Amino acid sequence: MRLRADQVTQHLQQGLSPVYLIYGDEQMLVEEASDLVRQHVRKLGADQRQIWHVDGRFDWSQLQWQEQTMSLFSSQRLLEIRLPSGSPGREGGEALRQYASQPPDDTTLLIISGKIDAKSTKSKWFTELDKIGVTIPVWPVDIGQLPGWILQRMRQRGLTAQLVVAELIAERVEGNLFAAAQEIDKLSLLCPSGVVDEQIVLESVADNARFESFGLMDSVMLGQTDKIPRMIARLRSEGLDILTIFSAVTWTVQRLVDMAIQLDQGITIERVFQAQKPPVWNTKQAMTRMTLQRHTTQQWLGFIEMMAKVDQAAKGSLAQCPWSLLESVCMRIAGAKL
């Protein structure tokens, strides 16, 4: 069954499907839709969550083993597969087809994927998952559509504003959807009356504290290993929620991983930059090019696994300091040899 991202909440109120496949270029919106599924599964009693990150060496036979053994450990469980390339390959496609033929009653399978092209949506693995579960395409918000998206999200937060206000926010966040969402959340606190005007926005975005996480990633991409520990220490001392920082860092890392995969496929870097949503701005291209050249594609995929450990530590499922793990992955991306 195909759904739009804005239909997920209503669907979950009617019942839970055995499989959810959420895919698209816009990482923040994909994660927001995925969070709705995670939260609902937890409410229904799932106390265990297994996360797999699929790369070229992934062993898909684990899916069959997991399917057979889950009921031994938990009455309900969430199995999460992250598929950044958008394709499981032949072995993965067959494994997903076998899973779809008889999904376990005590398990919800959540597949979070990068963009899946039109041809792949007609493949057997995709159509069989769609038949027994829910597929949710998340379309990117075009730069020209961003002011309208901002106005809609503001209305969802109980805010009203003129189009010129939304255009001002869109300009200041340079097309970054995550930064725009953060700014709207901040405005909902600054405007108890619900009315947002240009002056409030100008004062709000002038406060760089909300965008320090993106400043951190600039330092990471520039290889400024001497600054990174100090920046993370300052963010931590200011009492900022690490999950907020984590989301911004993940957004950038996932974007770099996606570009590295495309470059590995022989696509020119100019086309790769232009294909990003939003595209890599001219002022960021030299820095981004330098960052991508710093690591192999396999190393970039490894950073995704490291970010997963930060997420687990931040949520208490891994007994390590999430701030230390975050500093470690940032330093490695910056080129430090730890």
Strand partners, 50: 79
Nearest Cα neighbor of 182 from 246, 253, 254, 274 is 246
Structure tokens at 188: 């909902």
pLDDT of residue 112: 92
Where do you find CATH 1.10.8.60 in the chain?
143-206
The architecture that CATH gives domain 143-206 is Orthogonal Bundle (1.10)
Nearby residues of 207 by Cβ (< 8 Å), 6 or more positions away: none
How much is the pTM?
A: 0.57
Q: Please tell me the distance from the alpha carbon of residue 165 to that of residue 97, in angstroms, as a whole number.
A: 48
Fold category of 212-334 in CATH: Zinc Finger, Delta Prime; domain 3 (1.20.272)
pLDDT of residue 208: 47
Maximum Cα–Cα distance across the chain? 59
pLDDT (tens, 9 = 90+) of the chain, 338 residues, equals 888 888 888 899 888 899 999 999 888 888 889 989 988 988 887 777 788 888 777 888 878 766 555 555 556 788 899 988 888 988 899 999 998 888 888 888 999 998 898 888 999 999 999 999 999 999 888 777 888 999 989 998 899 998 888 888 887 776 778 778 888 888 888 888 899 988 888 777 654 444 567 778 888 998 999 989 988 988 888 777 888 788 878 888 999 999 999 999 999 999 898 888 777 766 678 889 999 999 999 999 999 999 999 999 998 888 999 999 999 999 999 998 86
Nearby residues of 128 by Cβ (< 8 Å), 6 or more positions away: 96, 97, 100, 101
Asked if 123 and 93 count as a contact pair (C-beta separation under 8 A), the reply is yes
Q: Please tell me the distance from the alpha carbon of residue 195 to that of residue 190, in angstroms, as a whole number.
A: 10
Asked if 303 and 332 count as a contact pair (C-beta separation under 8 A), the reply is yes
Where do you find CATH 1.20.272.10 in the chain?
212-334
**DSSP conformational letter for 22:** E
Q: Residue 328: CA atoms inside 13 Å, Cβ hemisphere, count?
A: 16
- Count Cβ atoms below 10 Å from residue 297 Cβ, excluding itself: 18
Structure tokens at 111: 């597949």
Where do you find CATH 3.40.50.300 in the chain?
5-138
The architecture that CATH gives domain 5-138 is 3-Layer(aba) Sandwich (3.40)
My answer on whether omega of the bond before 278 falls inside 30° of 0, hence cis, is yes
pLDDT of residue 68: 57
- Count Cβ atoms below 10 Å from residue 16 Cβ, excluding itself: 17
Range 46-84 burial, b when 16+ CB lie within 10 A, else e: beebebbbbbeebebeebeebbeebeeebebbbbbbbbb
